[in-house]
Amino acid sequence: MSARRALVYGPTCAPFYWEFTLATHSTSEIASTPPPFWVGAALTRNYRMIVRALRIFWPELLGIIVAAGALSGFVVLLGENKVNSLLNSALGLIAIAGFTTAGLLAKMKNQAQAMVTRLRQDVYTDLVAVAITTVPDIPSLPETRVPLLPSKRTRQNTQLVKMARERGITPVTPN
């Protein structure tokens, strides 16, 4: 009897073990060949990432929970005969509005975070480009020591202002 149970429970529990094992590894380790079969060390890091995502998207998750509750109430009351149709309509409207609003808010927040990341990358790129540029000393008239051109700082500030005005957002870079 135990051999029969092992034959039934083994294949049934294998996908759950596989998912748990993959959850304890980083993405690069999961994509490696051959895939990992033993528990890894990235479990706490993966859970911290989930908690961070929950902190960021908690209003959307709350909206989805409220919408799911309203949808459940709508479905339950739909089969009842002596229920006010206004209540049923209100629950349906709350469910539709909740799911739609939560989805749109999550999408907009995700796009805003991607845009901020791209802007940060662009600013760092510009800062590095300005920092590594070296300009030789400005030639001056020998007797008066008056520069022939505006000062180096003035030229750099003018150039930075021009670069900032002409700056556009670069396309998304793969990470």
**Which tens digit of pLDDT belongs to each residue from 66-86?**
999 998 888 888 888 888 888
What local confidence, expressed as pLDDT, does residue 170 receive? 67
Q: Between 67 and 43, whose confidence is greater?
A: 67
Q: Which two tokens stand for residue 93?
A: 């409207």
What local confidence, expressed as pLDDT, does residue 148 receive? 59
pLDDT cut 70: percent of the chain above it = 83
Average pLDDT rounded to a whole number, residues 93-115: 89
Q: Which two tokens stand for residue 168?
A: 């556009």
For residue 1, pLDDT over 60 is answered with no
For residue 144, pLDDT over 80 is answered with no
pTM of the entire structure?
Answer: 0.47
d(CA 113, CA 150): 41
Q: Among 167, 42, 57, which residue's Cα sits nearest to residue 112?
A: 57
Does the N-terminal peptide bond of residue 136 adopt cis geometry, omega within 30 degrees of 0?
no
If you write DSSP's letter for every residue of 92-130 in order, what string do you get? HHHHHHHHHHHHHHHHHHHHHHHHHHHHHHHHHHHHHHH
What local confidence, expressed as pLDDT, does residue 35 receive? 78
**CA dihedral sign of residues 57, 59, 64, 69:** positive
Q: Which two tokens stand for residue 120?
A: 């940060």
Mean pLDDT, all residues of the chain: 79
d(CA 54, CA 77): 31
What local confidence, expressed as pLDDT, does residue 166 receive? 77
For residue 4, pLDDT over 60 is answered with yes
d(CA 56, CA 110): 10
Q: Between 60 and 147, whose confidence is greater?
A: 60
For residue 64, pLDDT over 80 is answered with yes
Radius of gyration of the chain (CA): 30
What local confidence, expressed as pLDDT, does residue 172 receive? 65
What local confidence, expressed as pLDDT, does residue 173 receive? 63
Average pLDDT rounded to a whole number, residues 130-154: 62
What local confidence, expressed as pLDDT, does residue 9 receive? 79
Q: What is the DSSP letter of 41?
A: S
What local confidence, expressed as pLDDT, does residue 111 receive? 87
What local confidence, expressed as pLDDT, does residue 135 receive? 61
